[in-house]
Chains A and B, each alone.
Chain A
Amino acid sequence: MASHSSSDGAATAAPPRAPDLSTDELQRYSRHLTLPEFGREGQEKLKAASVLLVGAGGLGSPAATYLAAAGVGKIGLVDFDRVEASNLQRQILYGTSDVGRPKLEAARERLTDLNPHVEVETHDVRLTSDNALEIIDQYDIVADGTDNFPTRYLVNDACVMTGTPNVYASIFRFEGQVSVFATDDGPCYRCLYEEPPPPGLVPSCAEGGVLGILPGFIGTLQATEVIKLITGIGTPLIGRLLMVDALDMNFRTLKVQKNDDCPVCSDNPTQTELIDYEAFCGIPSSDSSQNGTDDVSQIPEISVQDLKQRRDNGDAPFLLDVRKPHEADIANIGADQLIPLDELEDRLDEMDAEPGSEVVVHCRSGGRSAKATELLRKKGFDAKNLAGGTLAWSDEVDDSVAKY
């Protein structure tokens, strides 16, 4: 099909040009050049290749570091965050002195210092349906290390549509997944997971936590697959999902089949353009149109400023925290009661508010509390979701509340 016809830049294809390696480079890469399976040819393929890392965080840090050290010719980075103190436990591209700086500025410095022969291209934007095709099309291979479901689906679909192989990795707590999607004949992410989970059901790393070293080795596994695709050595994880459990230190691969009815990568796709991925993932979004695709988008909200105002006016509504108790130890905005989301349904009788009364629900960023708000409304409470959670409270009301 047409969307696969432009994928000649990756995998086993010969490099478009055979770049000369300077004496400096020959010395730098000598341990590659003496690898029989790799040699000068492999190194030249790396130099001719371009790789886009989506997300310069936990996975992107080790992936970018090793790909730069290995001598990939052009490394693109997409990220719009600034370095936060809570990143440093795992995002090894950054140091303490980088806190507050744009990630890509710090990343460029670090990578260029590591290997001046690498061209570092920074895309300081949020990847969206408006810019994804144009950005991804500039690269031979994508390495998806983002931290959210909407971007995962966006990256997948854009890779399929531009014929760009997608080396996928994701992490949660002590667990990681790696695979290679959107190659000519292989499956895509949609073949594996046709639909995203409803918001709030799968906690983010920020909510659920992540062992700092986990993205360190999952990101290097991801970079390993990138290098294999570029140089054509070994057997890439096409049609296989590597599942890693760091606690048991268990590595397994499961089969991933290409879905003949895949809405995006099958021979007769039902979706041929990028869509609104926030809406697809059921996430309430101020800039996505409220077209009622999912009733989660209809959940009433209250802003942190409005809550603050009502407290100042002595008209504070009952505030329920649905995070885990250890999260309240980190950041507390004075909730009247804490019942974790996953216990809420069973502990409704413990609520210190009566059905029918007004309840504002909060969590860290607003995802879990949206779920809880929906539940409480079904049970007859006049519940509202605190938009943005403790993060928004810290940004807009009280910066002494820690962001985690």
Chain B
Amino acid sequence: MPDTQTRTATVRIPTPLRSYTDGQATVEATGTTVSDVLSDLVQQYSDLQSNLYTEDGTLRQFVNIYVNDDDIRYLDGPDTAVEDGDEVSIVPSIAGG
């Protein structure tokens, strides 16, 4: 399979961000890298943009992105490859007690 073929990942949306995805807990999004998948997600739900990215377009530091069980900061960051059926999780910090 050529490496550029588009894959579909399941993006897990955490509770604090579900108000921007019409309440959806998971959203299907396509792309070959995490960056592509999140771009597709933000295309579908544009209100997520400012919650995931800073104004200069980098991912916000208090939002961690995981591919399956792994933090992309310890893989290839936004360029981390996504395989068909992978689970991409948005894991924001929460502080309630």
Task: Please give the residue numbers on chain A whose beta carbons come within 8 Å of chain B beta carbons, in ascending order.
Answer: 55, 57-60, 144-149, 152, 169-175, 177, 192-197, 201-205, 208, 210, 215, 241, 243, 245, 247-248, 252-257, 342
Contacts and interface: CB of A to CB of B under 8 A. Distances in A.
8 contacts: A144-B97, A149-B95, A170-B95, A171-B96, A174-B15, A215-B96, A243-B89, A255-B69
A55 B95 CA distance: 12
Given A177-B94, A197-B60, 7 more contacts: A58-B97, A170-B97, A175-B15, A175-B16, A192-B93, A193-B93, A255-B69
B92 interface: yes
Which 3 residue pairs of A and B lie closest in terms of their CB atoms, listed nearest first?
Answer: A205-B96, A172-B94, A147-B97
B97 A171 contact: yes
B91 A55 contact: no
Task: Name, among A59, A146, A201, A215, the residue most crowded by chain B CB atoms within 10 Å (CB to CB).
Answer: A201
B39 interface: no
B16 A203 contact: yes
Interface size class of B (residues with CB under 8 A): 20 to 34
Interface string B40-57: 000000010001000000
Given A196-B62, A257-B74, A201 B96 contact: no
A172 B15 contact: yes
Contact of B95 (A146, A173, A194, A253): A146
A172 B89 contact: no
Contacts of B51: 201
B16 A202 contact: yes
A196 B51 CA distance: 13
A247 B94 CA distance: 17
Interface string B65-89: 0100111011000000000000001
Nearest to A175: B15
Nearest to A215: B97
A172 B69 contact: no
Interface of B: 14-16, 19-20, 25, 47, 51, 60-62, 64, 66, 69-71, 73-74, 89, 91-97
Contacts of A205: 96-97
Contact of B93 (A149, A248, A254): A149
Contacts of B15: 172-175, 245, 247
Contacts of B64: 192-193
Nearest to B70: A255
B97 A193 contact: no
B71 to A, nearest CB: 6
A243 B47 contact: no
A257 B66 CA distance: 12
Point out which of B62, B69, B96 has the most chain A C-beta atoms below 10 A from its C-beta: B96
Contacts of A248: 25
Contacts of B93: 149, 170, 192-193, 196-197, 202
Contacts of B89: 243, 254
B48 to A, nearest CB: 11
B29 to A, nearest CB: 19
A169 B73 CA distance: 22
B64 to A, nearest CB: 7
Contacts of A204: 95-96
Contacts of B14: 175
Contacts of B69: 252-255
B76 to A, nearest CB: 14
B97 A59 contact: yes
Contacts of A152: 95
**Which of B14, B47, B60, B97 is packed against the most chain A CB atoms within 10 Å?**
B97
Contact of B96 (A172, A257, A342): A172
A247 B97 contact: no
Contacts of A58: 96-97
Contact of A210 (B25, B60, B92, B96): B96
B89 to A, nearest CB: 7
A59 B96 CA distance: 9
Contacts of A174: 15
B94 A175 contact: yes
B53 to A, nearest CB: 12
A171 B51 CA distance: 19
Contacts of A196: 62, 93
A391 B67 CA distance: 41
B66 A254 contact: yes
